[in-house]
């Protein structure tokens, strides 16, 4: 049975939700699922915007057949070749053998790598600024390299004023029947997952996202159709404001994110006391245990906060494994413009502070405070003044 939604009379969402996905891209926990969006334009020609992940292929093909209502499929536009959108392209061609593929040269190369020269041979290539007319609707193509892969492009329909934005403006979370962002309380209920999606999937490529936002700013946009998450038809400017912050590594809040790795609770105790001292000073704090909370959530919260605290026990003469993984991931995601404070613990040879400082050294325009607080097994009453000083320093940098 089909499950589709109309965006316009001649533009139909034919994607599907996956609520059984444990790890998106094999890494990112997806407790609320994810949607793979695909859009069918019914003009003089029929045009499909991207396919879906294999996991939801059966539902997608039912949706597509229903929306086509007996018409043949003329074109597939590939905006992004990552398999969560292109994995079913080969099956699409088997089912609709007359379909032609519109994509750029980089996507054609990836089609051949993932599938076959035969699939690549049916491509009609487009470049930046080129257009294709399908009847009433004309799509113009906008290259958006590294948002999130090098071949990514967007397209703009001058008739409906719809921007097909590929991964940009997506979010984690199944749609659950709600297609438009205004059908949910997005900025209350969904923004955290949108931030986690952005920061982990394209957070590394802020400069390229800024370039894509500049291109999009020149367009008269009435609809934004991303490959994951909601379609935007109102309040899109509020979402763009968030993207401007995230893409420029600008904190959303004057808050502190505390992440700690603690085996027997002593490092956690110091982190808790620092949190109390910060809150007493009027600073908003969010805390995470790296052994319990997935790194993707802590990375997302690190993009949100202005200052970061990492507290870790020493383990096997290194940083505790979950903290070490988090810090490397944070560096890989290119976070910038932050102030960082460190707390280390070690019963006989505390070295985690020095090692955390080394891992975080590549972060651009980031200050790691000199005053690492060192615990030998447990925080002593005589050390409370050190946490007071750290809280004062963090409050000062956020002022």
Nearest to 58 by CA among 77, 28, 36, 32: 36
Give the shortest CB-167-to-ligand FEO separation in angstroms.
Answer: 4
Q: How crowded is the C-beta side of 25, counted as CA atoms within 13 Å? A: 11
Q: Rounded distance, CA 66 to CA 339, Å?
A: 54
Alpha-carbon separation of residue 42 from 11, 37, 48, 52 (angstroms): 6, 16, 9, 19
Nearest to 174 by CA among 187, 189, 163, 164: 189
Q: Which is nearer to ligand FEO, 85 or 277 (CB)?
A: 85
Instruction: Give me the residue label for tokens 């609770």.
Output: 265
**In contact, 78 and 141? CB cutoff 8 Å:** no
Instruction: Give me the residue label for tokens 């859009």.
Output: 39
Taken in order 331, 188, 235, 162, is the CA torsion positive or negative? positive
Give the shortest CB-185-to-ligand FEO separation in angstroms.
Answer: 24
Give the shortest CB-342-to-ligand FEO separation in angstroms.
Answer: 33
Q: Which is nearer to ligand FEO, 149 or 310 (CB)?
A: 149
Q: Rounded distance, CA 388 to CA 240, Å?
A: 38
Structure tokens given for 176 = 């659950």
Nearest to 163 by CA among 78, 75, 241, 232: 232
Give the shortest CB-149-to-ligand FEO separation in angstroms.
Answer: 6
Q: Which is nearer to ligand FEO, 61 or 172 (CB)?
A: 172
**Beta strands 307-315; 123-125: pairing state:** unpaired
Q: Which is nearer to ligand FEO, 46 or 51 (CB)?
A: 51
Which residue in the shown chain puts its C-beta closest to ligand FEO? 82
Q: Rounded distance, CA 84 to CA 95, Å?
A: 19
Give the shortest CB-373-to-ligand FEO separation in angstroms.
Answer: 40
Q: Which is nearer to ligand FEO, 181 or 274 (CB)?
A: 181
Give the shortest CB-203-to-ligand FEO separation in angstroms.
Answer: 13
Q: Which is nearer to ligand FEO, 80 or 333 (CB)?
A: 80
The full length of the chain comes to 399
The helix (H) or strand (E) run that includes residue 384 is helix 384-398
Q: Which is nearer to ligand FEO, 229 or 306 (CB)?
A: 229
In the complex, which residues of this chain contact ligand FEO (CB under 6 A)? 80, 82, 84-85, 148-149, 167, 227-228
Give the shortest CB-121-to-ligand FEO separation in angstroms.
Answer: 24
Q: Which is nearer to ligand FEO, 123 or 227 (CB)?
A: 227
Q: Which is nearer to ligand FEO, 73 or 144 (CB)?
A: 144
Give the shortest CB-24-to-ligand FEO separation in angstroms.
Answer: 8
Give the shortest CB-86-to-ligand FEO separation in angstroms.
Answer: 9
Backbone angles phi, psi at 234, to 5 degrees: -150, 160
């Amino acid at each position: 049975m089909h499950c589709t939604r109309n965006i316009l009379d001649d533009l139909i969402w034919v994607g599907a939700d996956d609520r059984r996905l444990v790890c998106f891209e094999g890494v990112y926990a997806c407790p609320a699922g994810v949607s793979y969006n695909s859009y069918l334009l019914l003009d003089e020609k029929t045009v499909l915007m991207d396919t879906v992940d294999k996991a939801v292929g059966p539902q997608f093909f039912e949706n597509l057949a229903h929306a086509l209502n007996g018409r043949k499929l003329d074109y597939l536009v590939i905006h992004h070749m990552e398999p969560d959108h292109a994995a079913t392209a080969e099956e699409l061609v088997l089912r609709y053998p007359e379909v032609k593929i519109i994509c750029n040269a980089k996507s054609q190369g990836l089609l051949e790598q993932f599938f076959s020269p035969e699939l690549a041979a049916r491509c009609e290539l487009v470049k930046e600024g080129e257009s294709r007319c399908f009847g009433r609707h004309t799509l113009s193509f906008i290259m958006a390299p590294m948002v999130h892969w090098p071949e990514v492009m967007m397209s703009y329909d001058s008739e409906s004023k719809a921007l097909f934005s590929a991964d940009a403006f997506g979010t984690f979370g199944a749609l659950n029947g709600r297609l438009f962002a205004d059908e949910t309380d997005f900025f209350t209920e969904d923004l955290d997952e949108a931030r986690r999606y952005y920061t982990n999937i394209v957070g590394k490529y802020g400069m390229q996202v800024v370039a894509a936002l500049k291109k999009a700013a020149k367009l008269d946009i009435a609809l934004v159709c991303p490959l994951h998450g909601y379609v935007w038809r109102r309040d899109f400017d509020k979402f763009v404001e968030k993207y401007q912050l995230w893409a420029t590594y600008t904190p959303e809040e004057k808050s502190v994110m505390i992440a700690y790795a603690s085996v027997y609770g002593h490092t956690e105790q110091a982190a808790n006391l620092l949190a109390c001292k910060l809150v007493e000073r009027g600073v908003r704090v969010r805390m995470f245990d790296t052994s319990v909370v997935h790194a993707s959530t802590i990375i997302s919260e690190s993009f949100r906060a202005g200052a970061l605290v990492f507290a870790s026990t020493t383990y096997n003469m290194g940083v505790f494994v979950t903290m070490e993984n988090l810090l490397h991931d944070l560096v890989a995601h290119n976070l910038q413009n932050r102030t960082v404070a460190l707390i280390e613990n070690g019963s006989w040879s505390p070295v985690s502070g020095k090692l955390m400082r080394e891992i975080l050294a590549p972060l651009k325009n980031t200050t790691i405070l000199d005053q690492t607080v060192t615990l030998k097994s447990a925080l002593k009453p005589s050390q409370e003044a050190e946490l007071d000083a750290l809280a004062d320093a963090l409050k000062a940098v956020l002022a």
